[in-house]
Structure 1
Amino acid sequence: MRIRMITPAARGSRSGNRATAERWARFLRAGGHRVDIAVEYGGEPADAMVALHAWRSADSVARFRADHPDHPVVVALTGTDLYRFQHTDPEVTQHTMALADRLVAIHEAAGADLPERFRARLTVILQGATPPPQGHRPVQREFRALVVGHLRDVKDPFRPALAARDLPADSRLRIHHYGLAPDEDWAAAARREAAANPRYQWHGEVAHWRVRRALSRAHLLVHPSRMEGGANAVGEAVVTGVPVLASDVPGNTGLLGVRYPGSFPVADTAGLADLLLRAEREPDFYEALATHCRMRAPLFSPEREAAAWRALMDELAAR
Structure 2
Amino acid sequence: MNITLITPAPPGSRAGNRATAERWRQLLEEAGHWVAIVTEYQGEPCDLFIALHAWRSHDAVVQFRVQHPHTPLIVVLTGTDIYDHQYRFPDATHESMTLADCLIGLHDRVDQDIPERFTNKLMTVLQSADLPPGPERPENGFDICVIGHLRDEKDPLRAAWAAKQLPQTSRIRVINAGKAHTPEWEQKALSEQQSNPRFQWLGEVDKSAIHQLMSQSRAMVISSVMEGGANVVSEACRAGLPIIASDISGNIGLLGDDYPGYFHVGDDTDLARLLQRAEESADFLGELSGRVTELASRFTPQAEQGALLAAIDKAMAGRTRLSP
Inter-partner Cα distance in structure 2 for 1:317 and 1:106: 20
Listed as ranges, the gaps of 5+ residues in structure 1 are none
The SS at the match of 2:8 is coil
Listed as ranges, the gaps of 5+ residues in structure 2 are none
Q: Which runs of 4+ in 1 moved over 3 A?
A: 314-319
- Aligned match of 1:56: 56
Contact 2:27-2:305 within 8 A present in 1 as well = yes
Deviation at 1:12, TM superposition (A): 1.9
Instruction: With the length of structure 1 as denominator, give the TM-score of the two structures.
Output: 0.97
Residue identity (%): 47
Inter-partner Cα distance in structure 2 for 1:203 and 1:115: 40
Inter-partner Cα distance in structure 1 for 2:152 and 2:254: 21
The SS at the match of 1:295 is helix
Deviation at 1:312, TM superposition (A): 2.8
The SS at the match of 1:13 is coil
- Aligned match of 2:40: 40
The SS at the match of 2:188 is helix
Contact 2:153-2:225 within 8 A present in 1 as well = yes
Q: Which amino acid aligns with 1:279?
A: A
Contact 1:6-1:41 within 8 A present in 2 as well = yes
Q: Which amino acid aligns with 1:234?
A: V
Contact 1:27-1:310 within 8 A present in 2 as well = no
Cα offsets for 1:126-155 (capped at 9, x unmatched): 00112213x122122211100001111111
Alignment of 1:120-269 (within 5 A): 120-133=120-133, 135-269=134-268
Alignment of 1:273-288 (within 5 A): 273-288=272-287
Inter-partner Cα distance in structure 2 for 1:155 and 1:71: 36
Deviation at 1:85, TM superposition (A): 0.6
Q: Which amino acid aligns with 1:166?
A: Q
RMSD: 1.2
Inter-partner Cα distance in structure 1 for 2:183 and 2:72: 43
| Mean Cα deviation higher: 267-276 or 139-148 | 139-148
Inter-partner Cα distance in structure 1 for 2:148 and 2:220: 11
1:66 aligned onto 2:82? no
Q: Which amino acid aligns with 1:30?
A: E
- Aligned match of 1:103: 103
Inter-partner Cα distance in structure 2 for 1:33 and 1:298: 25
Cα distance change of structure 1 residues 97 and 110 upon mapping to structure 2, 3 Å threshold: same
Deviation at 1:317, TM superposition (A): 4.3
The SS at the match of 2:71 is coil
Instruction: With the length of structure 2 as denominator, give the TM-score of the two structures.
Output: 0.95
Cα offsets for 1:170-218 (capped at 9, x unmatched): 0011100000012332222111111111110000000011101110111
How many residues align? The count is 318
Contact 2:104-2:311 within 8 A present in 1 as well = no
